[in-house]
Structure 1
Amino acid sequence: MIQTIIVDDDPFVRLSLQTILEAQDDIAVVALGGTGEEAVALFEEHAPDVLLMDIQMPGMGGLDAAERILAAHPDARVVFLTTFSDDEYIVRALRLGAKGYLIKQEVATIAPALRTVMAGQSVLGGEVLGRVDALMRKEGAASAASSAAPTAGESGGAHESLTERERAVVELVAEGLDNREIAAELFLSEGTVRNHISAILQKLDLKNRTQLAISYYRER
């Protein structure tokens, strides 16, 4: 069972989400909350598989709550479910290491998204996915402008710093494969795949697999 906590300041939304998710055979809602402070406390109490949380709430918002939770539990699976597809929110959520950013109107995608997150992948709602590439370009523009231009013989593409094997791993991550599937595809152990991904994220100064996939499509 996917042990899930739902945090949203609207009681109707909380109960509706609980009803939708508990209709699934493999999802259990273990707690409900209405503020960022409650999200932090409930996470510490229940250690859920997934925290499904709104962004704008009274007091501590979802992003601040996620920052506190992920600072203490870097492997926490935080998925934002919100009506706000604001550019700043999306970028901050990805940089924090959130595993997903979904839009409330896309209700049918929530349960499959939780399963995807449990399989080790990140999820973005359709509306968000359509904008993320442009967002990441904009975010990288300032640092790119201040960086030294490539010297003769160097490529301007960030992925040029990767080995051939690392580029193969990135391509499969971008295709949505999890570590086990990548290991089978490249005849590697899962531990080796994890090590490759950690090294790649460090080389490219990225936070998570979602950003890695985005950077792959941007470099193409």
Structure 2
Amino acid sequence: MRILIIDDDQLVSLSLKTILGAQAEIEVVGTGNSGQEGIDLYRQTQPDILLMDIRMGDMTGLEAAEIILQEFPQALIIFLTTFLDNDYVIHSLKIGAKGYILKQNFESIVPAIKAVQVGQSVFGEQIVSLMPNLLSAKSADNRIDDCLSQREQTILAEIAEGLNNKEIAEKLFLSEGTVRNYISTMLDKLQLRDRTQLAIYYYKNS
């Protein structure tokens, strides 16, 4: 697995290179310290996964990621940052980032990279717990993909609010089995793996 690391703090870049390089299945193909370097190095190395900081001098990691994703739509990008910022989280979801992890959670970096490699999206526990509060920042005019029925969209919104099957069933006057069936259908329609990915889909597409 080939990893590119971009962080404007050289000490962080070197630390990450050491941590990841110690993994037998991981090869660090380059490090950079700016958004532009991230773009240039991605083009040169085309890594399996890009691990990138958000706040950098010349441009943000979010801006660099947008440019990369325009050119390489299948790019797998994980943001690693010290900032738990609502706007950053929403922006990262909307542009298609595969992960958003706080730097202080160093122990989660390797598992996150491995999860993203096999097709999962990874957002730290703090990010997942923050998601319900992001609803207030969403526009009332936004709509979920038309492939979901009105009932499925309603259940999806409740999942994004953090409700479990029992709570959704009680709120919508359905059986838990019916809720499970709806969720299974949504996962199949959207080709997603689990409830967390459903919540992420909601925030990306609403």
Query: How far 1:155 sits from its partner (Å)?
Result: 4.8
Answer yes or no: is 1:174 the counterpart of 2:172. no
* Total equivalences in the alignment: 173
Taking the TM superposition and a 5 Å limit, the aligned residue runs for 1:60-209 are 60-135=59-134, 137-143=135-141, 155=150, 158=153, 166-169=185-188, 173-175=193-195
Letter in 1 for 2:84: S
Gaps of 5+ in 1: 148-153, 177-207, 216-220
Taking the TM superposition and a 5 Å limit, the aligned residue runs for 1:25-44 are 25-44=24-43
Q: TM-score, normalised by structure 2?
A: 0.75
RMSD: 2.8
Question: Hey, what's the Cα distance between the residues in 2 that align with 1:120 and 1:133?
Answer: 24
Gaps of 5+ in 2: 144-148, 157-180
CA contact (8 A) 2:83 2:102 kept: yes
Question: Hey, what's the Cα distance between the residues in 2 that align with 1:57 and 1:129?
Answer: 24
Per-residue CA shift, 1:62-91, capped at 9, x if unaligned?
Answer: 000000000111110010000011100000
CA contact (8 A) 2:187 2:194 kept: no
Q: Secondary structure at the match of 1:142?
A: coil
Query: How far 1:209 sits from its partner (Å)?
Result: 6.0
Identity of aligned residues (%): 38
Structure 1 residues 98 and 168: alpha-carbon distance in aligned structure 2, compared to 1, 3 A threshold: closer
Query: How far 1:142 sits from its partner (Å)?
Result: 2.7
CA contact (8 A) 1:99 1:123 kept: yes
Q: Secondary structure at the match of 1:5?
A: strand
CA contact (8 A) 1:101 1:125 kept: yes
Per-residue CA shift, 1:37-74, capped at 9, x if unaligned?
Answer: 00000000000000000000001110000000001111
Q: TM-score, normalised by structure 1?
A: 0.70
Letter in 1 for 2:120: Q
Letter in 2 for 1:173: R
CA contact (8 A) 1:4 1:31 kept: yes
